[in-house]
Amino acid sequence: MMKRTDYLDLIVLDYLPPTWAALVAGVLVLITLSLSMYLLFEHLSAYKNPEEQKFLIGVILMVPCYAIESFVSLADPSISVDCGILRDCYEAFAMYCFGRYLVACLGGEERTIEFMKREGRANSKTPLLEHSSEKGIVKHPFPMNYILKPWKLGQWFYQVVKFGIVQYMIIKTFSAILAVILEAFGVYCEGDFKWGCG
């Protein structure tokens, strides 16, 4: 007798998306790739601020990455897990690029820290953090506000944010590599919480 999971595997292996869905997705992927490549080549042809633009290019490439991954997953669901894993790795890199891009826009790490310190003590009309009652203080949401003290803008806050971005990048990449290994052994169950699944 055929198990339910075997039957589902047969359905996934025999799956073909509707023609109209594949055509619409294909056209939208081509438009996305065209616009992304145009923006990318515009940045490369006017490469006047490399400290900002090199990280911005990493962020721009996230758009075609998502578009191609979605189209390939639609066209062949049997490799959608592998495509999603590759996308997750690039997403971690794009998050790092975005953080570095923001720092580059503010003039580098030292100027970013100085900007945060200045915003934390100056009386400006446009505060950096409008939701905070005290100037330059980052308050944690519930329930973390009972565990952690509020953070003051400055070098320590910058280091915590930087550590968080790098930590996200490392954990996301490690999780993706672990998913590849679990998928190879047939125990990767995306979204299922079972004892026999990873």
Domain residue limits at 56: 19-105+171-198
100 and 124 share one domain: no
Residues 148 and 185 in one domain: no
Same domain, 181 and 101: yes
With cut-offs at 50, 70 and 90, classify the pLDDT of residue 7.
Answer: very low
Asked if residue 133 is part of any domain, the answer here is: yes
pLDDT band at 124 (very low <50, low <70, confident <90, very high): low
Q: Is residue 8, in this structure, part of any structural domain at all? A: no
| 100 and 183 share one domain | yes
The pTM assigned to this predicted structure is 0.77
Higher pLDDT, 90 or 126: 90
Q: For 170-190, give one letter per residue: b (16+ CB within 10 A) or e.
A: eebbeebeebeebbeeeebee
In a domain? residue 6: no
* pLDDT band with cut points at 50, 70 and 90 for residue 127: low
Examine the domain organization and report whether 126 and 81 are in the same domain.
no
pLDDT for residue 104 is more than 70: yes
- Provide the domain count of the chain: 2
